[in-house]
């Protein structure tokens, strides 16, 4: 998603009904420690804005 947004793709659909967990941070670079507990879609949406 980060690369698509950086490339200028205007509309990106995000589907993930899970929450950000500490174990996600090592492999899902779109999330940060301050987003632990947030919905992944909300965390990703804010990051790519």
Q: Pick from 34, 42, 49: which is nearest to 14 by CA? A: 42
Domain of 7? 2-48
pLDDT on residue 38: 97
pLDDT on residue 49: 87
Q: Are 48 and 30 in contact (CB under 8 A)?
A: yes
Residue 47 tokens, joined: 């990051």
pLDDT on residue 10: 87
Total structural domains within the chain: 1
pLDDT on residue 36: 97
Mean pLDDT by 10 residues, the chain (49 residues): 92 94 94 97 94
pTM of the model: 0.82
């Amino acid at each position: 998603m980060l690369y698509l947004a950086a490339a200028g793709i205007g509309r990106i659909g995000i589907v993930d009904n899970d929450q950000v967990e500490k174990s996600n941070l090592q492999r899902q670079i779109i999330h940060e420690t301050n987003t632990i507990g947030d919905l992944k879609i909300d965390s990703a949406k804010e990051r790519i804005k």
